[in-house]
Amino acid sequence: MFNTEFKKQLEQKVDAMIESIGGKSPHFAGVDGKYDDMPTDWWTSGFWPGILWILYDLTGKEHYKEAAWQWDEKLEPWFINLTDDIHHDVGFQFLPTAVIKHTITNDKDAYRRGIEAANFLAGRYNAAGQFIRAWNGDLNGWTIIDCMMNISLLFWASRETKDPRYKHIAVRHADTALKHFIRDDGSSRHIVSFDPETGEFIEGLGGQGAGPESAWSRGTGWALYGFINAYKNTGDARYLQASKSVAHFFLANLPEDRVPYWDFRLPSKEGQPRDSSAAAIAASGLLELAEAVPEVERSLYRDGAIGILTSLTEKYSSVYDLSRDSILNGATGHKPAEMYVDGSLIYGDYYYIEAIAKLLGWKNRIF
């Protein structure tokens, strides 16, 4: 399915998205399939340009590069005009903009912005608790599983600058996440609270999951992908084993169509929405995992990813509907708050394209 012809269809879809979305910063699309326009300090602002950079890298077509080029420049002023929406998610914002731009084009300003973002992220490190603080305000002691994806920015900065301090912070955070987030069965917490002064563990919190001891499906995807990224950057077998454990939990708990409900531990699934974004994130992480394990283990993870992507394409996507901005339907952002439920989320679209790009031979990956 995911061949040259499908690649051409993706190009047609993204071309139509460029026409409709333009310079907007999309986050959520409802039943009409039309994306909103969020302020560019919002954590998802890097994913639309990330899609464009991937298409440029796959095809070499200049209009994708032209549409993506200015995005890291658009985001940079937020380091001066700080808001509560600039926090640990600078990884999500600058990895698919400045970092990939520099990787592909060697642009010096993109490099500077990537390092600037890494410095900002490193500045959120709590040495007592050995974690990177998540959000702003009074939540000094909170960290979340999502940040396992953001620490890739620190690993990149260490490679580029030859300065191990960034990597040291990333490793300490990963160790803390391994200890306090990942349960014995491979499930993950969303939020962990520490005393910011002493670093002492206080409690796990439900966050965007159904409860403190539930298993939020998107957070499970972040954990799966984040720990395989940490392994690829360090060679630490503990991280590989963590990613495998989470992957086994994810795959074993999928419903028949391979797309999870928004939480794996719901009292009842009747009337509950799915989260196609969690499926896309996990699929892309599974493909990374498949490349990291011995050949005898590879098919479990690769076949799992392809099964998820096939179901997403056949049952949840608008790849062939050029009238809609969005690619994946059936995504759920924050069910406990009844926000962004059962629609389309730009990061679901991003990780769907990222995963398929890997199957098509994309090489300039950012992790």
41 included as an active-site residue: no
Residue 18, helix vs strand vs coil: helix
DSSP string covering 159-224: HHH--HHHHHHHHHHHHHHHHHTB-TTS-B-SEEEE-TTT--EEEEE-TTSSSTTS-BHHHHHHHH
Instruction: Decide: 14 and 55 in contact? Cβ < 8 Å.
Output: yes
Alpha carbons 215 and 223: distance in angstroms, whole number: 11
Of 41, 146, 263, 275, the catalytic one is 146
CA separation, residue 353 to residues 65, 72, 106, 214, 284 (Å): 16, 20, 23, 29, 9
Residue 61 backbone class (left: φ over 0; alpha: ψ -120 to 50; beta: rest): beta
- Tokens 């298993």 appear where? 215
Instruction: Decide: 281 and 218 in contact? Cβ < 8 Å.
Output: yes
Which amino acid, one-letter code, is at 249? F
146 included as an active-site residue: yes
Q: Which residues contact 219 (CB under 8 A, 6 or more apart)?
A: 144, 145, 146, 188, 189, 190, 207, 208, 209
Residue 234's φ and ψ, nearest 5 degrees, are -125, -30
Q: Find, among 264, 348, 358, 269, the residue nearest to 312 by Cα.
A: 348
Of 72, 89, 342, 349, the catalytic one is 89
Tokens (6 digits) for 187: 């499930």
Element (H, E) at 237: helix 237-252
Positions marked active-site: 89, 146
